[in-house]
Amino acid sequence: MLAAQRQELLLGRLRIEGRVVAKDIATELGISEDSIRRDLRELAAAGLCQRVYGGALPVSPAIADLQTRTNVQPDSKQRVAARAAQLITPGSTAILDGGTTALAVARALPPDLQATIVTHSPTVAAALVDHPAVEIHVIGGRIFKHSAVACGAAAVEAAAGVNADVFLMGVTGVHATAGLTTGDADEAAMKRALSRRSADTYVLASAEKIGAASRFAVLALTDVAGVVTDVAADHPALRDLTATGVPVITASG
């Protein structure tokens, strides 16, 4: 079998099964495990999979640039945002992450909501200006343009002064074994810093993020209070996720 044929087979398995184990594929095809690993390296270099120990997982489309992500699963993001907005209760203090789903949450908040919102996203902060009873606190620092959020040492230091009831966190991948991941190390560190400042952390997980993985770990599934998603309960990746014990909060249309 030619390398191109093997790679097409690997991509097919990722689409159908949600993961590839290099040793198992090598045994099935009667070739060396090194050949499969080489194929996976080439696919990963092309942005077509995310390599993990022993194999690969589907790559998240949420690592694309901000403008592109606006057009990825917009209906799913709206459903997740509408459900997640209900987790910000009147009188509470909430940390709202950056990115397209967090922006949708800001727009989904009731216009009469009285709450304090802390965010490191200028875009999210701007969307909240029209909420007359929402007090907005913006964490500053170096702007990571992929998600239009402040990251880096200054932002992490500023976050240390926050105490919140809930953190609505965006990630690019939610996977039963890989956990919660994102595409940038500094952004991952910022998310961890914000999570430490909140009593509860909930994950905003639109459809394209379930079963996918990115390069950098953010948190383990055991570190969050729940995952908000609109993916159907019989979706294989969601069944695997539920089996880990993490609470899944269903967002319906």
pTM for the whole thing? 0.82
Could you list the beta-strand ranges (E) of 49-207. Answer: 50-52, 55-57, 93-96, 115-119, 134-138, 142-144, 149-151, 164-170, 173-175, 179-182, 198-204
CATH of the domain at 10: 1.10.10.10
Amino acid at 28: E
pLDDT of 97 above 80: yes
Q: How confident is the model at residue 67 (pLDDT cuts 50, 70, 90)?
A: low
- Dihedral angle at the C-alpha atoms of 37, 38, 40, 45, nearest 10 degrees? 140
Instruction: Using the 3D structure, point to which of 59, 76, 106 is the last residue of a domain.
Output: 59
CA distance 183 to 173: 9
Q: Is 153 helix (H, G, I), strand (E, B) or coil?
A: helix
128 and 231, same structural domain?
yes
Q: So what's the pLDDT on residue 70? A: 59
Mean pLDDT of 204-208: 91
Q: Is the pLDDT assigned to residue 69 strictly greater than 60? A: no
Do residues 78 and 53 both lie within one domain?
A: no
For residue 253, pLDDT over 70 is answered with no
The reply to whether 138 and 26 lie within a common domain is: no
5 pLDDT band, cuts 50/70/90, is: confident
Q: Are residues 72 and 49 in the same domain?
A: no
Instruction: Let me know whether 39 and 123 are in one domain.
Output: no
The answer to which of 61-70, 126-135, 140-149, 177-186 has the lowest mean pLDDT is 61-70
Q: Give the domain extent around 129.
A: 66-250
DSSP 28-90: HHTS-HHHHHHHHHHHHHTTS-EEETTEEEPBPGGGS-HHHHTTSSHHHHHHHHHHHHTTS-T
Q: How many domains does the chain divide into?
A: 2
More confident residue, 79 or 46: 79
Band the pLDDT of 71: cuts 50, 70, 90: low
For the segment 163-195, what is each residue's pLDDT rounded down to a tens digit? Answer: 999 999 999 999 998 999 998 999 999 999 999
pLDDT value for 58: 82
pLDDT at 21 over 90: no
